[in-house]
Amino acid sequence: MNKHTASAITRLLKRAYPDAKCSLDFKSPIQLAVATILSAQSTDERVNLTTPALFRRYKTVRAFANADQAELEELIKSVGLYRNKAKSIIALAKALECDHGSRVPTTLTELQKLPGVGRKTANVIQGVLTGKGEGIAVDTHVTRLSFRIGFTKSKEPKKIEQDLKKWIDPNDWVAISHLLIRLGREVCKARNPMCDSCFLAGICPRRGIK
């Protein structure tokens, strides 16, 4: 990998997916934070089926902070790991109420101090709310594609993020996650990637693909 190739890949991704963005449905920062927590080890599609009823029941940070955990668990049961996620969401809302005036912070340092918010979640929230990122969100799609395309030799999210930051222009740190996720969902799938019809076929080394 080199800067020229990385720039060409980014340019081709932008051309293919000019409307790439976060696919979680939300109308407020707290809804984004909750949806992002729910998306861990689940799909955005599943989360988007779950959140309409959830957000009708809990409309504010205070409502989430005062939520009955058993009731919250019942509403998010379909996303998996629902007990831990319910606990994290309530703790998150209480921390926002106590320490942030019920507002979702937008720096990685502050976000990562919140219950249930790891590096990936913090990167997603910051990027979506501000349009700028101090880092790059690395999910399963970004992990898989970064290895196959040649951005990294690692399978570890922290190292993958570091490697991506070396090659990708800082102005594209937010976009690159959304772009790679789209490519991963539509073309470069975990099983049976469609390499022959991929617009990156001419420059992708297809690392790990037999």
Report d(CA 17, CA 182) in Å as an integer.
7
Active-site residue, from 44, 85, 139, 172? 139
Dihedral angle over CA of 167, 160, 184, 79, nearest 10: -140
Say whether 169 is catalytic.
no
CA 85 to chain centre: 16
In angstroms, the Cα distances linking 208 to 31, 97, 123, 150 are 37, 46, 27, 10
Report d(CA 151, CA 16) in Å as an integer.
19
Say whether 120 is catalytic.
yes
Active-site residue, from 120, 153, 158, 169? 120
> Which residues are identified as catalytic?
120, 139
